[in-house]
Amino acid sequence: MKRSVSLSTTLLCAIVCTGESFAADIPSYDEPAPISAPSAAARSWTGLYFGASAGYSWFNPEFGFTDLEADFDADSVEYDLNSFTVRGTVGYDLQINRVVVGALADVSWSSGEDDQNIVITPTVGDPGAFPTSVESGWGADILARAGFLATDQLLVYGLAGWTWKNVDFSYTDTSAVDNPTISEEETVGGWTLGVGAEAMVTDMISVKGEYRYNNLDDIEIDASGSTIDPAVGELDGSEQEILLGVNIRFNGLFQ
């Protein structure tokens, strides 16, 4: 009996040891890691683009006489030429790592207009009110811009360059018999500084917001031929603009 139990125990140990040895010989397989989707390629900012924008312009030039006949005195007046403005743009950007530099040119149109009376006081006699009118029209800009990519799709940038604006000034001499009107139409230049942000929506479309400050040169108004001749005045002022726009981009062209 004891021999039978011992034999059974020996056989059981042999089976267990053989099973463990067989299990050790079976190769193990780790569960494969999940396959991640490939990340989208970053969009390039290098290329040609065309754009359109609209916004609001704050333009309040001031007129005053700088050279007036000795028998007269006159106050200066300020005009309210605030108006909506629209513009079209063509430009080119070059991306260098996370820096984007470029140049652009645009043409604009605004419809600001205002009428003011200039009060001219003679040394002897009663003062007179002379109607004046100022109107703004088309403009143009040539600008350079440089910015930094806050993300692959968001560009924060600054602007600098030259600006031109068409201004029409008229002055009516109501003290003369035939009430002559003296008009001056000038394209005045100046410099521009601005900041903005532009976001790439698709490979071809981006949207932007901008602030611009335009410092315009003075316009000299010659009132020769009026009853206060000689009379020379200056129209001067700066302009501020807030713009929202969209660009159609042809990135990859002319690289």
Question: Residue 69 falls within a domain, yes or no?
Answer: yes
Question: Residue 29 falls within a domain, yes or no?
Answer: no
pTM above 0.85, yes or no: no
How far is the C-alpha of 150 from the C-alpha of 156, rounded, in Å? 7
Question: Residue 71 falls within a domain, yes or no?
Answer: yes
Say which DSSP state 176 is in. Answer: S
Q: What is the pLDDT of residue 4?
A: 45
First to last CA, the chain: 96
What does the angle CA 39 – CA 209 – CA 236 come to, to the nearest 5 degrees? 155
Question: Residue 123 falls within a domain, yes or no?
Answer: yes
CB atoms within 10 A of CB 105: 13
pLDDT digits (tens, 9 = 90+) for 138-183: 999 999 999 999 999 999 999 999 999 999 988 787 766 677 777 7
> What residue numbers bound the domain in which 138 lies?
45-251
Question: Residue 151 falls within a domain, yes or no?
Answer: yes
Question: Residue 20 falls within a domain, yes or no?
Answer: no
Tell me the three state secondary structure of residue 105: strand
Question: Residue 7 falls within a domain, yes or no?
Answer: no
Question: Residue 21 falls within a domain, yes or no?
Answer: no
Pair 243, 209: CB distance under 8 Å: yes
Q: What is the pLDDT of residue 9?
A: 46
Amino acid type, 15? I
How far is the C-alpha of 44 from the C-alpha of 56, rounded, in Å? 31
- The single residue listed with the structure tokens 């201004």 is 167
Q: How many domains does the chain have?
A: 1
pLDDT digits (tens, 9 = 90+) for 89-124: 999 999 999 999 999 999 999 989 999 887 777 666
pLDDT digits (tens, 9 = 90+) for 185-240: 889 999 999 999 999 999 899 999 999 999 999 887 776 655 555 566 778 889 99
CATH number of the domain enclosing 162 = 2.40.160.20
